[in-house]
Chain A
Amino acid sequence: GAGVSQSPSNKVTEKGKDVELRCDPISGHTALYWYRQSLGQGLEFLIYFQGNSAPDKSGLPSDRFSAERTGGSVSTLTIQRTQQEDSAVYLCASIPAGAQIPYEQYFGPGTRLTVT
């Protein structure tokens, strides 16, 4: 079946512009994560959504970052007034209902963001 999809796969933007990254989780998956991976680094937790509960936004690095999940499915990560240090790969992962969290994460292919 279809896996987690993310769009765009690559995004080049100028410093100061806003960008929106999209994640389509696997149908029926109730939990969703966003991570950031800078060059040579591990995955950095950004935000976690679980069902209708309030999201855990504790990993968002600044108030320029925000994320929402509409209808418990598609999620968008928005970065306002992008800075060069925002350049990274942004990964989304989803988890099926009833799965043992955080074990069964299905990752998308990521969006590579380059801020010039």
Chain B
Amino acid sequence: EDKVVQSPLSLVVHEGDTVTLNCSYEVTNFRSLLWYKQEKKAPTFLFMLTSSGIEKKSGRLSSILDKKELFSILNITATQTGDSAVYLCAEGSGGSNYKLTFGKGTLLTVNP
């Protein structure tokens, strides 16, 4: 059974710190790896990664995938209190092109 493991489960930092969130996966027929930010209830899409070694970047957030070692990282530089959220990693694989398997998430708290 496919499995997505995120670490750490929770993290508390101060504004201005840089954080790295980890996501490892065990899959067959890998298709894509996605990152979401979940504030309150509704997740919002951050990145989709399909190729190894190509960094995706959006402002202070960036992400990269290593398909050989089966992991991805999400970096947030110069953190702000508005970055406080649960960050979810999900992978799409297998016979369907629409199913995602989600990790449990990393709860990030950024203190002023």
Question: Which residues of A does B touch, CB under 8 Å?
Answer: 31, 33, 40-45, 48, 50, 56, 89, 91, 101-105, 107-110, 112
Interface of chain B: mostly helix, strand, loop or mixed: strand
A102's partner among B4, B88, B98 (CB-CB below 8 A) is B98
Q: How many residues on B have C-beta within 8 angstroms of the other chain's C-beta atoms?
A: 23
- In angstroms, Cα B48 to Cα A78, docked, is 32
A101's partner among B40, B98, B103, B105 (CB-CB below 8 A) is B98
Q: B97 in the interface, Cβ–Cβ < 8 Å?
A: yes
Taking the closest CB of chain A, its distance from the CB of B70, in whole angstroms, is: 17
A31/B43 contact (C-beta < 8 A), A42-B4, A42-B88, A42-B103 known: no
Contacts of B34 in A (CB 8 A): 102-103
Q: B100 in the interface, Cβ–Cβ < 8 Å?
A: yes
Q: Which chain B residue has the least Cβ–Cβ distance from A41? A: B104
| B41 near A102: Cβ-Cβ < 8 Å | no
A-B contact count (CB 8 A): 56
- In angstroms, Cα B44 to Cα A101, docked, is 15
Q: B57 in the interface, Cβ–Cβ < 8 Å?
A: no
Q: B90 in the interface, Cβ–Cβ < 8 Å?
A: yes
| A43 near B90: Cβ-Cβ < 8 Å | yes
Q: Which chain B residue has the least Cβ–Cβ distance from A58? A: B99
| A105 near B105: Cβ-Cβ < 8 Å | no
| A109 near B100: Cβ-Cβ < 8 Å | no
Q: Which chain B residue has the least Cβ–Cβ distance from A104? A: B45
11 further A-B contacts with Cβ under 8 Å, apart from A107-B44, A109-B40, are A33-B98, A42-B88, A42-B90, A42-B105, A43-B43, A43-B90, A43-B100, A43-B102, A101-B97, A103-B45, A110-B42
| B42 near A108: Cβ-Cβ < 8 Å | yes
A44/B97 contact (C-beta < 8 A), A89-B41, A91-B42, A110-B41 known: no
B99's partner among A41, A102, A110, A112 (CB-CB below 8 A) is A102
| B43 near A107: Cβ-Cβ < 8 Å | yes
| A43 near B88: Cβ-Cβ < 8 Å | yes
